Amino acid sequence: MSGLSIENLSMRFDLPNGSAVQALKDVSLDLAEGELMSVLGPSGCGKTTLLNIVAGFLAPTEGVIRMNGHAVHGPDAERGMVFQKGALFEWMSVRDNVSFGPRMAGKREADYGEEVDHLLEIVGLQDFKEKAIYELSGGMQQRVALARCLANHPDVILMDEPLGALDALTREKMQSLVLKLWKETGKTIILITHSVEEALLLGERLLVMAPRPGRIHREYRLPFADLGVGQDLREVKKHPDFAVKREEILGMIWDMEEEIMGRSEEAS
């Protein structure tokens, strides 16, 4: 079987003071090849934990991740990761960052050079190849991170709030870029976000998670990602269904947030 399957995943963190946090409880999910799924939920509901387990950075207390049929143990080049920020290598030029994966795999410039240049062109950084990372804006840095991930040919791309640190305008452009890359490369993508609009725009499937313990609350299948490919995303947002879904999900998340507040008030 190809694709990604998450089976009965649970994660408990034992804290030094003796108590424990149930970050995830019995999460199951199948992702077909080429699917784009966004994950939404109030903060602390275990989104990052879920992604870190899929990436192999954390071992779950229960359950298993299967990738193309085999169980996942630890990080691997088949699962690429794009972080919110700070994961680029400042001591390398833009181009060396992008070619990091192929270089670590022992490939030669002749093998990867052309493709790396092509990727830099796709993300619009062909004129910044030899620049240092700290000379780039936040949006450009995220484009480097995307290109670096793609240059390594992962089967699945995991993104943890990749656009969270960008300003609104840059963010919109980057959303289009993500859609474009998804369509062109046909990669399976999981994208965590805390913006409902972004989750709607960048998800064929949208997973809403609930906190304490972290679990799947609801799942949607949405047409907007397909609509958005090659289109102005502002047009997509005008779609009558878009506003309806946005209100529905916003309400859902607000209810959860209120519940969290209520509970913590009780506790105090």
Partner 1 sequence: MWFLDLMAEFRDVFITVVQALPYIAAYIGIILLTLMIWRFIKRLLTPKKDYGSLKTVTFGDESAVASNYAASAISILLIFVMWGAFTGSRLVPSFLHAPGPFVGTTSFTYTAEADGQAPDEATVTVRVFEVGQEGDAPEVEPGDGWAKNDSDSIGAWRSGLIRVDKNDDYGRKEGHRVTAVNGQAIAPGQSVETENGRVGMSPKGTLNFEPAKGWQMEPIWLPAPEAVWSRFMEIASEGYRGSTLLEHLSYSLFRVFAGFILGALIGIPLGYAMGLSDWFRGWFDPIVEFMRPVPPLALIPLVIIWAGIGEEGKVILLFLAALWIMAIAARAGVSGVAISKVHAAYSLGASKTQIMRHVIVPNSLPEIFTGARVAMGVCWGTVVAAELVAAEKGAGMMIMVASKFQLTDIVIMGIILIGIIGFGIDILMRLAERALVPWKGKI
Ligand X SMILES: Nc1ncnc2c1ncn2[C@@H]1O[C@H](COP(=O)(O)OP(=O)(O)O)[C@@H](O)[C@H]1O
Contacts of 2 (CB under 8 A, 6+ apart): 32, 33, 68, 69
Q: Which is nearer to ligand X, 23 or 216 (CB)?
A: 23
Q: Which is nearer to Mg ion, 98 or 190 (CB)?
A: 190
Q: Which is nearer to partner 1, 144 or 252 (CB)?
A: 144
Asked if 249 and 207 touch (Cβ cutoff 8 Å), the reply is no
Among positions 35-64, residues that touch ligand X (CB under 6 A) are: 41, 43-49
Q: Which does 134 bind (CB under 5 to 8 A by kind): partner 1, ligand X, Mg ion, none?
A: partner 1
User: What residue type is assigned to position 56 of the chain?
Assistant: G
CA distance 19 to 151: 42
The number of angstroms, rounded, from the C-alpha of 134 to the middle of its chain's C-alpha atoms is 23
Binding track, positions 174-213, relative to ligand X; x by CB under 6 A: ----------------------------------------
Only segment of 13-21, 174-182, 228-236, 260-268 that touches ligand X (CB under 6 A): 13-21
Tell me whether residue 131 is exposed, middle or buried, using C-beta atoms within 10 angstroms of its C-beta: 0 to 12, 13 to 18, 19 or more.
Answer: middle
For binding to partner 1 (CB under 8 A), which residues are involved?
52, 55-57, 74-77, 79-81, 83, 86-91, 100-101, 104-105, 132-134, 148-149, 152, 154, 158
Tell me whether residue 162 is exposed, middle or buried, using C-beta atoms within 10 angstroms of its C-beta: 0 to 12, 13 to 18, 19 or more.
Answer: buried
Catalog residues that contact ligand X under the rule CB under 6 A. Answer: 13, 15, 21, 23, 41, 43-49, 214
